[in-house]
Amino acid sequence: MSTRNVRQALYQPGYLRSAWPWRAVLYLMSSAPVGLLALLGIIVLALVGGVLTILVLGLGVLAALGLAGVPVGAIERRRLRLVDDRPARSPHRPPDEPGLLAWARVRYQERATWYELAYAVLFAFGLWMADAMALLGALGAPLSMMATPILLALDGGGQAQVLKYWSVTSYNEAAAWSLAGAMLLPVALYCLGTFAGLRAAFARLLLAGPDDPLREELGEVARSRARLVHAFEAERRRIERDLHDGAQQRLVALTMTLGLARLDAPPGPLADQLAKAHDEAGKVLAELRELIHGIHPQVLADRGLEAALEDAADRSPIPVLVHAPGLGRLPEPVEKAAYFVVCEALANVAKHSAAALAEVGAEVREGALFVSVVDDGVGGAVLRRGGSGGGAGVDAGGSGLTGLSDRVAALDGTLTLSSPPGGPTILGVEIPCEPIEAFG
């Protein structure tokens, strides 16, 4: 098994012959300049922000102080490669929009930013000093002892001080001290390797998170699921475009042709057949338009979720009350997921619940969209693959609300269902988001 970090190297028999002891020394030596820069940067930002507090500019400087850990974390993750060959991945996610403000907004919302700030403060006001003391304490004594003959020679063979406590007056004594220092050096290198390994483990814990293969796999699963949702949406829009620009236009032309032929045909069996064909073509065209509307309603793209929910309520066969005042525009994936959950729920209410009234509510609070669908039907609905039942939460055939639940989960949201026998049935959706435009 290959050695990937200094902690593993400490247990190998060839540790002292490898580069790991000197990589540990270099790691601890490079700590001081980075720590001094961090200390200087934090002090300057705090002083400038405090002095300029009376001006609006001072608030911006103090706000920038909260991001002081970001560059320190980036440098420290690179420095970790000196004692650990495993890459320390950045815990930050890229912003969804370009620009400095979008970047800063994302960073302030991340837990990793505050871990980095805590590390930067500890590093600037203590950790680099501890690294320097460990380095001087471990290497200073053996190197000073090994240099005793040189010190004695520089003094003209008179007297040399060893560690400021012992006086050496002869070269024999100096050679003995030098030999003792050479024997002590391997012990010091082992101590420095141990300290550097613990120090790097602490930095990795705060700046890159614990090494967890399962967490990495789950993260990749979540990213893959999000990619599948986006690919599904792109395919949905392509189908909508093809139906709208292709099949629908051909049906319109066919309907017009049949209508003209119906007007030109003399009364009789032929005219009756043309009239029947014309009516059927009109019904197919209406169904196709309804299908296109269901794939991606134009009102959702043009006017937002509130108007789309009102439209869905108007098309429902049972009365539906909508409460979504001032909802505003939300990110497109959030609007789509919420809209199709409501449509599926209302379809199930009309089909299974025997309800006389349904209510749809939507609001944004605490950084999330909350949507609810309530009906006064018979209840007993379940959220499962396959089966049937009553109320808003029925997932008949295994492709209704369960699939929508997966779609909501891809946005880090949750879908819940409460449907006791006798009702009411309450379907709830929570999706993290922030409004991008407020109405009202």
Concatenating the DSSP letter of every residue in 210-250 gives: ---HHHHHHHHHHHHHHHHHHHHHHHHHHHHHHIIIIIHHH
Spell out a b/e string for 294-312, using b for 16 or more CB atoms within 10 Å of the CB, else e. eebbebbeeebbbbbbbbb
φ and ψ at residue 268, rounded to 5 degrees: 150, -170
Alpha-carbon distance of 149 to 173, in angstroms, equals 9
Residue 350 amino acid letter:
A
Closest CA to 7 of 207, 195, 187: 195
What is the reported pTM? 0.51
Residue 375 amino acid letter:
D
Alpha-carbon distance of 159 to 256, in angstroms, equals 116
Report which secondary-structure segment, H or E, holds 131. helix 128-146
Alpha-carbon distance of 189 to 291, in angstroms, equals 73
Decide: 251 and 285 in contact? Cβ < 8 Å: yes
Residue 314 amino acid letter:
D
Q: For position 414, what pLDDT does the model report? A: 86
Mapping DSSP to helix (H, G, I), strand (E, B) and coil, where does residue 291 land?
helix
Beta strands at 358-365 and 425-432: parallel, antiparallel or unpaired: unpaired
Q: For position 420, what pLDDT does the model report? A: 85
pLDDT in tens, the chain (440 residues): 467 888 888 888 888 888 999 999 999 999 999 999 999 998 988 888 877 777 767 777 888 888 888 999 999 999 999 998 888 888 888 877 778 888 888 888 888 889 999 999 999 999 999 999 999 888 888 888 787 777 777 766 566 766 667 777 677 777 887 888 888 888 989 999 999 999 999 999 888 865 545 555 656 566 666 666 666 566 566 666 666 566 667 777 777 787 777 677 777 777 777 777 777 777 776 666 656 555 566 677 777 888 888 888 888 888 989 888 877 788 888 888 888 888 888 888 888 878 888 999 988 887 888 999 999 888 877 765 444 444 444 443 344 566 677 778 777 788 888 888 887 888 888 988 876 655 54
In the block, tokens 């066969």 appear at: 317
Q: For position 440, what pLDDT does the model report? A: 46
Mapping DSSP to helix (H, G, I), strand (E, B) and coil, where does residue 325 land?
coil
Closest CA to 408 of 386, 428, 437: 428
